[in-house]
């Protein structure tokens, strides 16, 4: 088991990497847990919640085999993870006030009080929603995550950003509050489709570009996505890079802004074109690199290298989209401050800078789209 500790003003967070049964035993409370998950995750892991004891989990491969039948186990009614499950629809559309209302109603139905621990078990959407719901119910419950997608393990579960979308604007409502634990087992990635691996790789590339040039070299040499042991090393290094940034600037007043590299344009594309977050961020990174070449004297060869890397991992780097709605979305982005927008530009691989650009300049120049 390996761990990363994040110490922040809103609380401390532990990211633990290992095998899920051991992580559950060490970190999760033995009772008074509510699990929030989605319909995709629940079909793979429902046996963890209602019928399997910790002892049984330790001696089986059940968490990673949806077809395994546990039969009648004599100890199955003791030491349960929980029988209080909140299942939400899978997908980005669940990041809404309607879903939050549903979850809070379930909290009330379950008799949840401030002694409960709320566990988000799933991908980035589940983590965002769980953290937000837990943070506003009874003015703040303890919560943590078991991230089951690559994107969630390297990005969405880390850093305390919890929120939802509103009026088709990404993450415009939310709170920064740290999960107590993030329990990460790379074996949960075995259930992912190829496209979900690609989504996560986009965020890994982003983190490497702004914060870790050696990680970028490792990714550039990485070719076999099915090599989960190699991927585990990349996940840990990416999480470590993000954790350091978050610890130094939890509330995103300075350095943490660099983690938004590619996201201003990417979030707009994601909302309009209805493509996945990782694919939209890939397109957004190329736009940010093009601006970095023009406005920040970035070596154009880096732009070429990143395009080749995105192609290798089957990620898009451009899209046909109308300029007017794109500009409208960009100008509603939460990174807007007064009459300026913070854009993240690259100096070189592993080093980024924050550049304020006026709203007028963005509106009048098609190069920003």
Instruction: Decide which of 161, 191, 221 is a domain's last residue.
Output: 191
Residues 210, 181: one domain?
no
Could you say which of 130, 159, 191 is where a domain stops? 191
Report whether pLDDT(67) > 50: no
Q: Which two structure tokens, joined as six digits, stand for 159? A: 């850093």
- CA 3, 9, 11 angle in degrees (round to 5)? 50
Set 47, 95, 161, 170: catalytic member: 161
d(CA 274, CA 138): 34
256 is catalytic: yes
Q: Are residues 219 and 184 in the same domain?
A: no
Q: Which among 84, 95, 106, 256 is annotated as catalytic?
A: 256
* CA–CA separation, 24 and 183 (whole Å): 8
Out of 191, 208, 233, a domain closes at 191
pTM: 0.87
pLDDT at 161: 96
For the question of residue 290 being annotated catalytic, the response is: no
Q: Tell whether 336 and 203 lie within a shared domain.
A: yes
Task: Examine the domain organization and report whether 14 and 43 are in the same domain.
Answer: yes
Active site annotation includes 47:
no
Residue 155 DSSP label = I
Q: Are residues 215 and 333 in the same domain?
A: yes
Q: Are residue 151 and residue 256 in the same domain, yes or no?
A: no
Residues 210 and 359 in one domain: yes
pLDDT of residue 126: 97
Asked if residue 255 has pLDDT above 70, the reply is yes
Where do the H-state alpha helices sit in the chain?
20-27, 39-50, 54-58, 97-110, 124-136, 150-151, 194-211, 213-221, 228-248, 263-273, 277-296, 300-312, 323-331, 359-364
Q: How confident is the model at residue 51 (pLDDT cuts 50, 70, 90)?
A: very low
| Structural domain span for residue 9 | 2-191
pLDDT at 347 over 50: yes
**Same domain for 167 and 38?**
yes
Per annotation, catalytic residue among 95, 142, 257, 263: 263
Instruction: Indicate the number of domains in the chain.
Output: 2
Tell the burial category of 226 from Cβ atoms under 10 Å away from its Cβ (0-12, 13-18, 19+): exposed
Q: Is 139 assigned a catalytic role?
A: yes
213: domain CATH number is 1.20.1090.10
Q: Domain of 149: which CATH number?
A: 3.40.50.1970
Residue 242 annotated in active site? yes
**Do 179 and 265 reside in the same domain of the chain?**
no
Residue with tokens 């039948």: 69
Q: What share of the chain is helix, strand, coil (3-state, %, to 5)?
A: 50, 20, 30
**pLDDT grade, residue 43 (50/70/90)?**
confident
Highest mean pLDDT among 42-56, 72-86, 261-275: 261-275
Mean pLDDT for the chain?
87
Verify that 106 and 205 share a domain, yes or no. no
Selected catalytic residue, list 106, 177, 277, 279: 277
Q: Is 355 a catalytic residue?
A: no
CA distances from 219 to 122, 201, 224, 257 (A): 25, 9, 10, 23
> Rg (Cα) of the chain, in Å, rounded?
21
Q: Of residues 139, 301, 320, 324, which has the active-site annotation?
A: 139
Whether 277 and 310 map to the same domain: the answer is yes
Tell me, yes or no, whether 207 and 349 share the same domain: yes
The 10s digit of each residue's pLDDT in 74-110 is 333 333 467 899 999 999 999 999 999 999 999 999 9
360 given a catalytic annotation: no
């Amino acid at each position: 088991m390996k761990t990363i500790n994040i110490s922040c003003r809103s609380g401390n967070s532990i990211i633990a990497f290992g095998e899920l049964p051991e992580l559950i035993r060490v970190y999760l409370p033995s009772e008074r847990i509510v699990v929030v998950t989605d319909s995709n995750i629940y079909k793979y892991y429902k046996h963890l919640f209602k019928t399997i004891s910790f002892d049984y989990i330790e001696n089986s491969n059940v968490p990673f085999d949806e077809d395994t039948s546990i039969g009648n186990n004599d100890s199955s009614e003791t030491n349960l993870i929980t029988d209080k499950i909140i299942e939400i629809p899978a997908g980005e559309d669940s990041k809404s006030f309607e879903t939050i209302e549903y979850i809070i109603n379930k909290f009330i139905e379950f008799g949840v009080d401030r002694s409960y621990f709320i566990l988000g078990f799933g991908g980035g959407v589940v983590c965002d929603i769980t953290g937000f719901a837990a943070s506003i119910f009874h003015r703040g419950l303890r919560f943590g995550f078991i991230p089951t997608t690559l994107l969630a393990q390297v990005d969405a579960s880390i850093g305390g950003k919890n929120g939802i979308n509103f009026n088709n604007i990404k993450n415009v409502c939310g709170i920064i509050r740290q999960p107590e634990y993030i329990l990460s087992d790379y074996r949960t990635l075995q259930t992912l489709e190829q496209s979900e691996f690609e989504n996560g790789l986009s965020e890994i590339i982003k983190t490497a570009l702004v914060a870790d040039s050696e990680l970028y070299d490792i990714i550039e040499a990485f070719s076999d996505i099915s090599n989960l042991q190699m991927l585990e090393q990349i996940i840990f290094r990416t999480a470590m890079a993000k954790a350091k940034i978050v610890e130094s600037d939890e509330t995103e007043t300075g350095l943490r802004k660099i983690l938004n590299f590619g996201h201003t344009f990417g979030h707009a594309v994601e909302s309009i074109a209805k493509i996945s977050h990782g694919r939209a961020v890939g397109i957004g990174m190329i736009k940010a690199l093009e601006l970095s070449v023009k406005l920040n004297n970035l070596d154009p060869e880096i732009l070429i290298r990143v395009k080749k890397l995105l192609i290798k991992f089957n990620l898009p780097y451009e899209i046909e989209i109308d300029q007017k709605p794109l500009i409208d979305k960009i100008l509603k982005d939460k990174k807007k401050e007064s009459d300026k927008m913070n854009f993240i530009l690259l100096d070189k691989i592993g080093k980024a800078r924050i550049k304020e650009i006026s709203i007028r300049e963005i509106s009048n120049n098609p190069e920003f789209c």
